[in-house]
Chains A and B, each alone.
Chain A
Amino acid sequence: QVRLQQSGPGLVKPSQTLSLTCAISGDTVSSNSAAWNWIRQSPSRGLEWLGRTYYRSKWFNDYGVSVKSRIAITADTSKNHFALQLQSVTPDDTAVYYCARDQGDIWTSKFDFWGQGLHVTVSS
């Protein structure tokens, strides 16, 4: 059974960097069939896809348009985890952040396992 365990601070000051990690058990971050994603949820936006990292003979990253200029997602194979860094945060980045595995194919996105979610508040 795959398990995703999230960690990170619940409070970040405006203009600083939000950093979260997602530890994977039951699968590997360098899997050739999975992509590892960050998604957030807020009352105003619903679920919003932030980006992903995945390995297909080399590492790839894709990011959502709304955060593309200030996001980075990295994988650490030695720790079997992946991380989110979101720079220059504002109160609008306050949300519940989830990591999730996409085990779909080229036609279907399938988020079959999710982390527990972390509520992050951006406030001074």
Chain B
Amino acid sequence: SSELTQDPPVSVALGQTVRITCQGDSLKTYYASWYQHKPGQAPVLLMFGKNNRPSGIPGRFSGSNSGITASLTITGAQAEDEADYYCNSRDTSGILFGGGTKLTVL
């Protein structure tokens, strides 16, 4: 069955750059979207499509796609970026989510 695989927990020093990846066969056909999820809050859409950011999302978030891998990059991580990050995509029968990557900002 289709699935999306994400990195294990990662950490980044304040102000530095971190990249989180998401791999899966569905990404050959469909674009990944990315969400930030903090405890007690609903997930927030960060990136979608080729490299689109909804209004209100800071420019330090960017995305890229290559083959079966999608990446989310945070350039100049801030303390408020500490959260869980999820990728998702369509697949032939519905929707997939990755397992999530916990980001710690040191």
Residues of A at under 8 Å CB distance from B? 37, 39, 41, 46-49, 51-52, 62-65, 98, 102, 104-112, 114-117
Tally of contacts, chain A with chain B, CB under 8 A: 77
Contact assessment for B30 and A111 in the assembled complex, using a CB-CB cutoff below 8 Å: no
Contact assessment for A109 and B30 in the assembled complex, using a CB-CB cutoff below 8 Å: yes
**Given A107-B30, A108-B31, A109-B88, A47–B97 Cβ distance below 8 Å?**
yes
Contact of A108 among B90, B94, B97 (CB under 8 A): B90
Interface residue tally for chain B (C-beta within 8 Å): 27
- What does the 1/0 interface line of B14-44 toward A look like (CB < 8 Å)? 0000000000000001110101010001110
In the bound complex, residues from chain B placing their C-beta under 8 Å from that of A108 are: 30-31, 33, 48-49, 89-90
State the majority secondary structure of interface residues on A: strand
In the bound complex, residues from chain A placing their C-beta under 8 Å from that of B98 are: 46
* Alpha-carbon distance between A110 and B54 when the two chains are bound, in angstroms: 10
